[in-house]
Structure 1
């Protein structure tokens, strides 16, 4: 299979941060988006940014900016569909998505997702965190998605589906499980308090 393309999901409204682009918030002298790019780019063939509104605000990143084709901020699945449609124009078979507000996600995200999707009908897999107590919780914005299912996904969104796992379970997605050590690798920044936590964690990691 060809190397996946990467899609950073930045199409949300960031209401708990007071609006704006969460990925532009500063973390250890860079934006959160810079941290996400630094982790995702080495793992994929190329990267695009899924974002709504004026794409010119991201011109400094030098990335293709793709907007949702489903109106009304339909959630992460709309960003996945936008990424799949873009990937189809690039001749790609799959994409891997990462959230724009999650600066510490695993540097082996893509190979682990590919392993989780082996021997499945479609190359489809989601990430999950596992705590020390063995509890597993899914991370549905970090996934491997097949271009072959984009029309199925579009139909599901048109029918009103918004919950990621309802669609991925239907297609028997694999699961790549990542252990939680000092922090959950999928810790994301939704509130000003979580931004302060991310800054503290970033400082601990760079000492």
Structure 2
């Protein structure tokens, strides 16, 4: 009987812990201020229900131009474009690819991504965090029309058009504001710039290589 009571106590504690976690953040940081100086909301303020219209839940996505150095363009559909998404924890993106177009390695710090190919063929992949031996694993797959692939939250991933024509994919994300960190841009286009000493040591290259990389345009396709 004591064992039963102990098990019940453990379950009760577990349930309490599960229900007490912090909500997922919808921004990169929140600098604390006196409540008389401002208001913090993890999301956006809500419209009065009596003023809500069907248009608040509607948005039309146009095909985007891929005439850029990456040959791809991401058209996000988040709460800023579709107000009805607020507090629902989801968003969407359309990704257009020219032949050989690339959606470069990037992460979504606040959302898992599920992607479906609408047209064309894509080589996709993601990199795991450090495994037991200290290494990282790469999972890749060639996707064709109708194929679906999942990129876990926060992990570096990419998509490359390996077909002969244009490609289109639709991505669903598990946050109304998942955020995007493009790896190359974050290293070489950040303002103010990261110390050259940090970059040369981290990437284990000569300073002239870093100087060259810092001078590149690093186009942002989002």
Where relative contact order (Cα < 8 A, 6+ residues apart) is larger, the structure is: 1
| Structure with the larger helix share | 1
Q: What is the TM-score of this pair, normalised by structure 2?
A: 0.25
Q: Which has the larger radius of gyration?
A: 2
